[in-house]
Structure 1
Amino acid sequence: MSPLERLLAEEIPIRPTPAQPWSRWTQQQQDEHWAALCATVGTPGAPRPNHSENAAQNAA
């Protein structure tokens, strides 16, 4: 098998279908997305920020 054939045989990731603009993420979807983001940047298990923390930081 040539290098080109090996490259073409690799699984090529595809984008997930975009969410509909009128739909909302469930809490489970949000949690899964946060966990995936944390794992990607190397901070698995990091707590999610909440609105009150953000408001306090923006007010200061």
Structure 2
Amino acid sequence: MKRHDGGVREVRRDPAEPGSLRGAVPNLRDWLKQWEDAGRPAPAAYTPALVRTGDGWDLRLSR
């Protein structure tokens, strides 16, 4: 996951649940707070869409 400053934040999975993204939710919340604190648009300013890819899904945001 990319941070607003261009760095990369690791999305950690809960080792007790293989394939779980449970650890990703707190990471996403932290990232969104940092984004808003930096004066970026609020999440409500974007329309989310899940797009199927060859190996999973991509989250795409549009304004």
Q: Normalised by the size of structure 1, how large is the TM-score?
A: 0.33
Q: Highest relative contact order (Cα 8 Å, sep 6+), 1 or 2?
A: 2
Q: Which has the higher strand share?
A: 2
Q: Which has the higher helix share?
A: 1
Structure with bigger gyration radius: 1
